Amino acid sequence: MRTSIATVSLSGSLTGKLTAAARAGFDGVEIFENDLLASPLTPEEVRARCADLGLTIDLFQPMRDIEAVPEAEFARNLRRARHKFELTRRLGAETVLVCSSVSPQAVDDDALAAEQLSRLADLARESGVRVAYEALAWGRHVSTYDHAWRIVETAGHPALGTCLDSFHILSRGTDPKGIADIPGEKIFFLQLADAPLLAMDVLQWSRHYRCFPGQGGFDVAGLLHHVLRTGYDGPLSLEVFNDVFRQAEAGPTAVDARRSLLVLQEAVGRAPLPGPVVPTGVAFAELVTPDAEPLSALLGALGFTRAARHRGKPVALWEQGDARILVNTGPAVRRDGTRLAAIGLESPDPAGAARRAEALLAPVLPRRRAPGDAPLDAVAAPDGTELFFCATGRPDLPDWRSDFEDTGREAGPAHIRGIDHLALTQPWHHFDEAALFHRGVLGLRAQESVDVADPYGLMRSRAVTNPDGSVRIALTVGAAPTDHTVHAQHIALATDDVVASARRFREAGGTLLPVPANYYDDLAARFEFADGELETYRGLGILYDRDAHGVFRHCYTRTVGRVFFELVQRDDGYRGYGAANAPVRLAAQHTVRALTGG
């Protein structure tokens, strides 16, 4: 299907927005009136620019407060409309959006609304355009799509149809099944937006918190099913008002928007994409560092062994159980110190996973390979993390470990089983994009977003997982572009006995994050513990949580660069990540950071 995006969904100048939309692969655009008014280009020049970029102008929007008003006011509205229709013709667009009135002069009279909209459509037809009437969720008298359709049907004008907007429909909780009663040819336009489920004024919700389909809590795919059953064959167009998108770069936002429509079309059987290949585990986590010594000391204290080194690159493989950490000290290391740069994901079909990622606009990363190196496909996540699709220990597929030479070092007893989860701090403007990327590209399930209190504001976190929990990634973002939160990444290591693991770590010279005594006083009030159990946790800095399924015990190392490790013990099917303890952990990290200056 053809795809379109409203210029209001992107940041920057009109020309920049048009370029971003074209580069992302959109077929057309909706021109928002304010964007045109602020542009130095004439309507004819905008039309020519779109043609040069291969874009159609599918809609000019919006016209407001037109219908169901006293005759003298309507006469003034027609004079205004005549100018807007001529402007639409000069742009080369065929359709003008008219929103249901919010004017205090509007009256609750459907017959009058239909009669005046019919006269408006007469005027539109003289300019060779048509009118799409949309019910605003906060319209004064017309606020639902079925009400708007009844007025359009009563008017019975060939140049008057309706515009359906998923936000206006779903934000009111209106049942979209009635869309099936609208003839497809009378649906002149379809605008799509998602939104988080919030309890707030619908106008503010609409103006600030819309997001692309698949990033919020609305069933946009279900609504689209109903629309397509009518025979609607117009574009799928995104109209998203979002404060974050207005401040982010237009190019990446447009790619995110286009990806959301590809995933949405797949959900309704209209996009022939390569099927999702869900990862089955974490093959490795790669850390890059300008100084391997502190990281090596930390890994050694955790019980890891430097088991192998890459044949042609300054990369060491540290192993313990099924947990593998690559330490890269190559010249490409950035100045921001130690960081988590790449994740290897076990895949039943690495080539298929790469094909799907590329089809969903994920940047395919070039890889410098020496002769004999294992071929590995990699793509970039929105935050820049490199994702490699791996097949470890598969006789039928190349094994990435064949690039490494054994160091001959004997591994000690393993008390770490593997990588439990990875936590990635997202750039402030990529949080929703990251959730959609991991769900759409990787086939992971996105859990509900949670807010976490930090000493300098609120952080948002959202986990994505595969069905059996062998892949868990927590995506986190701070409250604002300039927030003071600890922008750290961490690797959580699974153990069957976190107390024993914490003791071994300290005996090996490691330092655990100190936890305030007040935290343990609160634990004593909230939970019952066996004799001496809470004192053990207090002495080691172990935190504790329970959910409906089980118990979670965890502790943290100090931070090296941007990275720290977490030791976790899940019992009886615990499903969370210790979110209740996150404020204590963040405050403790801020304290250590202030004392050490790191």
Task: Please state the residue numbers annotated as binding site.
Answer: 134, 165, 191, 239, 421, 490, 566
Cα–Cα distance for residue pair 447/466, rounded to 1 Å: 11
Nearest alpha-carbon partner for 270 in 260, 262, 278: 262
Q: Which two tokens stand for residue 58?
A: 């599918």
Contact present, 536 and 582 (Cβ < 8 Å): no
**110: three-class secondary structure by DSSP:** helix
- Which residues are annotated as part of the binding site for a divalent metal cation? 134, 165, 191, 239
Residue ranges of E strands in 436-574: 445-446, 450-454, 457-465, 472-477, 489-494, 543-546, 551-556, 563-571
List the beta strands (DSSP E) in 154-201.
160-165, 187-192
Q: Where are the beta strands (DSSP E) in 300-449?
A: 305-310, 315-320, 323-328, 339-346, 377-380, 386-390, 404-406, 418-425, 445-446
Nearest-angstrom CA–CA distance, 313 and 319: 18
Output b/e per residue, 311-330; b: 16+ Cβ within 10 A: eebebbbbbbbbbbbbbbbe
Q: What is the DSSP letter of 557?
A: B
Strands (E) in 157-235, as ranges, are 160-165, 187-192
Residue 53 to residue 56: CA distance in whole angstroms: 9
Query: Do 317 and 305 touch, CB atoms closer than 8 A?
Result: no
Q: How far apart are CA 463 and CA 10, in angstroms?
A: 27
Q: Residues comprising the binding site for Mg(2+)?
A: 421, 490, 566
* Rounded-to-integer distance, Cα 129 and Cα 161, Å: 12
The answer to whether 164 and 236 have CB atoms below 8 angstroms apart is: no
